[in-house]
Amino acid sequence: MPFKYNVRGENIEVTDAIRAYVEKRVDKLLKYFPESTEATAHVNMKVYSEKTAKVEVTIPLPNLTLRAEETSIDMYGSVDLVVDKLERQIRKYKTRINRKKRDAEPTGEIFLAGPAEEMDDDFVEETADIVRTKRFNLSEWSAEEAVIQMEMLGHDFYVFKDVESGNTGIVYRRKDGKHGLIEVG
C-alpha cells in the first residue's frame, strides 16, 4: 500500500509536478516494508532567499520514526538526496537489527511491533524558560536499540524504557562522538 502524503511548502507553491515527483521518489522506500504497512509521509519544502531548497521528510511508523532533511540549490535535487538518505538509514537500521537478531533470540517483525513514538505535541504558555512541552509514550528498547533510534531521528539524545530493567533510560551523543547512557532508577 503506498504512503499517504502531507506535502507542505514554505516560500514555495507545491505544484502538481513537485508533488508527483515527491510521491514517486518516496514510494521507492515501500520495498523495505510489508505490504500491510500504512504510514503518512510528512514532507516540508522550503526555499530560502539565497536560492537554496530544503526538503524534510518524516515518516512515523509504529515503532520508529524515519526522518531526514537535505538542502541543495534545486528542489528536485533535494528530494533525491533526502530519499537516498532515508534509504541508507533503513538499510543501516535493518542491518543492525538483523545482526542483533542473529546474536540473540528472535524478537519478531521489527517494523510492525511497538507503540507509536510521539503521541502528542502540545504548546504551553510561554514562560521565561519553558516555551514548549512535548509528550510521548516511552518505547521499550535495549540501550543499543535506543541509540539506533536516536541516530535515525538525528537527535542528540533519546529517552526510552529499558526492556530488561523496566527503568527509564536516556542515551546521548557525547562530544567525542561516542554514546552515553543515563539510567533513571
Fold of 4-103: Double Stranded RNA Binding Domain (3.30.160)
Round the average pLDDT of the chain to a whole number and report it: 81
Most distant CA atoms of the chain, gap in Å: 53
Question: pLDDT tens for residues 81-93?
Answer: 999 999 988 888 8
DSSP per-residue codes, 104-152 = S-----TTT-S--SEEEEE-----SS---EEEEPPPEE-HHHHHHHHHH
Lowest mean pLDDT across 78-87, 100-109, 168-177: 100-109
- Confidence at 102, pLDDT banded by 50, 70, 90: low
All three cell numbers of 63: 515503532
Amino acid 121: pLDDT:
39
For 118-184, CATH number?
Answer: 3.30.505.50
Q: What is the pTM of this model?
A: 0.58
- Confidence at 105, pLDDT banded by 50, 70, 90: low
Question: What is the average pLDDT across 117-129?
Answer: 40
- Confidence at 117, pLDDT banded by 50, 70, 90: very low
Amino acid 33: pLDDT:
82
Residue type, 175: K
- Confidence at 79, pLDDT banded by 50, 70, 90: very high
Same fold, 4-103 and 118-184: no
Question: What is the average pLDDT across 70-86?
Answer: 93
**Spans of all domains in the chain:** 4-103, 118-184
- Confidence at 18, pLDDT banded by 50, 70, 90: very high
